[in-house]
Chains A and B, each alone.
Chain A
């Protein structure tokens, strides 16, 4: 593999020079086709297909046991898939050993070599037979600069903080300019503040180097804030692939809606195209193609509920989705209020809504008070009942 010099590293889009002829530009850098993985009787991956573009930052997101790490390890060649093919830059890598593939990897534990200095850790992958020492030194210095730890070169890993170790692991993985960067829950061992900071840094670095990156995480915030595209997985299948806003605003399945962000979920029945009955109340909802009469789950996020005062002086949406409610309970959560709203029109169901401090003050919302809640049509989602 070629090595990225400082000037090249600054160019935003990275090209795959060796493989250019093998696949057309802007085509898929990584093509995963129908991957199955079984551990005995247990199927960890059930026919996963996915393609990733050159320079893209993709997150595998899902609860533990969903198969995201298994998929990453298959791509890395650490746990071979049972069936299916993986192509990287037009080359079939399905059964290659890790050392014959082209990637750098950062694990949750960082796996820094404890007895080698930071410098030596980064240089580990560079020390090949015919590479001059000076070149290695320059490259190490460049990488230390890149991760902002030039002053720590002579220290041992144990002398650095978790966040610093993380960055060293990243520098080591990037030292040999791999075509693909794999990050296996790289932030989960860090405390919250450092995590938020590093999120930004990793994303920045990735943008700068233009390296195609896959990150495994179970933290939706991490995925939403870093990824170009998110692959939401559950029970060994991909539930949805999309940009952060797509998966958040237009979840394709109830699982995605539930896993990313918070939801109200109500048992409901489709009454007509684009209409749904919830506890006896007919509401308009986002377009769907479920046959009338079907039992469904209606979903709306707490933040999507719009508060109004009872006198209705404000601009108001569709009259069907305006409901007078009683504020049953209020919980102060710092940056917003979480309110539990009850209405005879919902039947037994309680609607949870998050209102800004402003709105609560302006509309005089208080426990036991009356108010009007709007369920915007486009935010009212309908999913077929599971099973």
Chain B
């Protein structure tokens, strides 16, 4: 039995026989993969191909013959291009068109009259060329003979080519291309500000002994509960043309970069704080003791120990914030004024100008930084884990009255900023006419009197959020379970994992537009869900898939890997293990996923703004539309309704969690 020279004999590698459980698991994974492919991969693919397809009339591929007055003797065939060269009836501008482009050809014949007995023959000279006679599509190289009256109903159809022409024309339109710079600038400024503020907050919350820490933590999560439009509305009330504090602006306008930055700080702060706070909460006390024993100054310790220790958190938070700012649509729509940002451009191109190809181009551009940020973040997250596992003695801050009160003052300032923003909206919603008539009134809540969908929109939102929370949680948790707890089928599982991570890199606007292209195509059998509640739920589940998936994975990874083998050896089907053990043990995480999906479904605007119909208007979109229509106070009121609902949902979540924990998690107690 020689060790070194052993080589495996050639032979057929064994393949496992699958149990019925394996089949069911694979089937389920296939179903959820299929969901992600249909709800994510295919729409994005269609979007990408849309951005690359251009439509042009090619005059060289059509030929026309014309007869004399007798209608029998035809002139030799000439191409349309040839004919046009003489009369210049079709200008070069007309040649670039969209997928719906149609071009009349009667202009080529200056003496054309539909009453004339002259006859025409027209044909295409290539296979891809087509033209319409009335509404009848003609293809092929056979001559089509028409009288004058019919000939005037002939239109040429453009041919589609794949190329970068759309991008070229985007970049050669200064007004559009400028948005890239604007978006990047806003992203960078907001990120720097938010990271600075969040680091201060995180530092105060983790490294000081200041009072009321939990109150501050609670206040800082408020922005998560409102749509990103709301800070915009608050800023309008505070610093807008009739704003309370307009003179603070010293002549500058809040509509534009200043408003965007302040609003961005507001709505990205909780996300940045969460990441940075986690990074700061795991400090090794020994590093600080070592620094102290080396007589390093506080300042030096801060820069050589604290900041490097949290660096991955900081970088990760920076990418998250940057991506959120450049992909957000609600805030710049409300407060951006004439300052164009990419996400708003998509909206304008699609909703305003019906230029879908250009919308697709902007979407692809918006996808680039988001995807880059996504991959950088993933790489950093891996390092962060390594750092965490190496932690040792937890750092416990010592009381230091001066520092602690300084932290308290700082946190109070930030809390005041958040509370003022919300408070202003609350006030504006409940007074008659800000700022002139401040008597309390509920008339701003009479949504049925305004555009935007009224109370129906609010009820739709609740329905949509509940459906999203329910189906989303089921889909996400089941999918995560299949990825984490099944054996073999490696390629399938890693593909699924990739699909599950993808939504994080796809901005809502991009997803929404991709859905239009994909689902609004009559040739798509899924076309029927377009304009229904289903598409809104599908879109929202997909949009917020990644974070939910990661939450589920984290919970599942904490489960013993050997549960499945044990259950199999006991001849028990996996669904018994799943429902009796996996789900009960993971219940806290499952509830977290549900509330996350609910809150985000209530506040999201970006994806659904393209997808709602008159029957399925949503509260968050109503905020946008009412604000657009100048009904700012009702918009604020609707925003506050979303806020109340989310607060209520959070409370219910808290109560249910506690109740279920007591009932089903007694085993956690020793």
A residues near B (Cβ < 8 Å) are: 36, 38, 43, 46-47, 76-78, 80-84, 94-101, 103-105, 107, 109, 111, 113-116, 124-125, 127-128, 156-159, 172-173, 175-176, 178, 234-239, 387
Contacts and interface: CB of A to CB of B under 8 A. Distances in A.
A-B pairs, top 5 by smallest CB distance, nearest first, are A125-B570, A97-B19, A111-B562, A98-B568, A156-B667
B641 to A, nearest CB: 39
Given A46-B6, A156-B666, A156-B667, A113 B19 contact: no
Given A116-B667, A158-B669, 11 more contacts: A82-B8, A97-B22, A98-B565, A107-B565, A111-B565, A111-B566, A115-B665, A128-B571, A156-B666, A176-B571, A238-B1
B569 A104 contact: yes
Contacts of B1: 47, 237-239
A333 B468 CA distance: 68
Given A97-B17, A107-B562, A83 B8 contact: yes
Interface stretch (B292-300, B579-587, B588-596): B579-587
Contacts of A238: 1
Interface string B643-670: 0000000000000000000001111111
A165 B85 CA distance: 92
Contact of B664 (A47, A115, A239): A115
Q: Which of A81, A111, A156 has the most CB of B within 10 A?
A: A111
A95 B13 CA distance: 11
24 contacts: A46-B6, A47-B1, A78-B487, A80-B15, A80-B16, A83-B11, A95-B14, A96-B17, A97-B19, A107-B562, A109-B562, A111-B563, A114-B581, A115-B584, A116-B580, A125-B570, A127-B576, A128-B571, A158-B668, A176-B570, A178-B569, A236-B6, A238-B1, A387-B4
B9 interface: yes
Nearest to A237: B1
A208 B601 CA distance: 61
B562 A99 contact: no
A125 B571 contact: yes
B250 interface: no
B289 interface: no
A104 B562 CA distance: 13
Given A81-B14, A158-B668, A99 B560 contact: no
Interface string B536-569: 0000000000000000000000001011011111
A196 B354 CA distance: 79
B386 interface: no
Central interface residue in A78, A97, A236, by most chain B CB within 10 Å: A97
B571 A99 contact: yes
**For the side of the interface on B, what is the size category?**
35 or more
Contacts of A237: 1, 3, 6
B14 A113 contact: no
B569 A76 contact: yes
Nearest to A159: B670
Contacts of A175: 570
Given A43-B8, A97-B19, A107-B562, A114 B570 contact: no
A19 to B, nearest CB: 17
A105 B668 contact: no
B60 interface: no
Contact of B585 (A84, A115, A176): A115
Nearest to A169: B566
Contact of B19 (A78, A81, A99, A116): A99
Contacts of A116: 580-581, 667
A81 B16 CA distance: 9
B572 interface: yes
B569 A105 contact: yes
Contacts of B4: 387
B491 to A, nearest CB: 15
Contact of B565 (A78, A95, A159): A78
A105 B13 CA distance: 26
Interface string B13-27: 111111101100000
Interface in B156-179: none
Given A109-B560, A115-B585, A157 B14 contact: no
Nearest to B1: A237
B85 to A, nearest CB: 67
A98 B572 CA distance: 11
B20 to A, nearest CB: 8
Contacts of A43: 6, 8
B570 A97 contact: no
A157 B667 contact: yes
A244 B9 CA distance: 32
Nearest to A104: B569
Given A107-B566, A111-B566, A115-B664, A83 B6 contact: no
Contacts of A109: 560, 562
Contacts of B567: 124
Contacts of A76: 565, 569
A258 to B, nearest CB: 15
Contact of A100 (B19, B487, B667): B19
Residue from the set B8, B11, B570, B669 with the largest chain A CB neighbour count within 10 Å: B570
Contacts of B21: 97, 99
Nearest to A36: B8
B569 A103 contact: yes
Contacts of B560: 109, 111
A96 B576 CA distance: 21
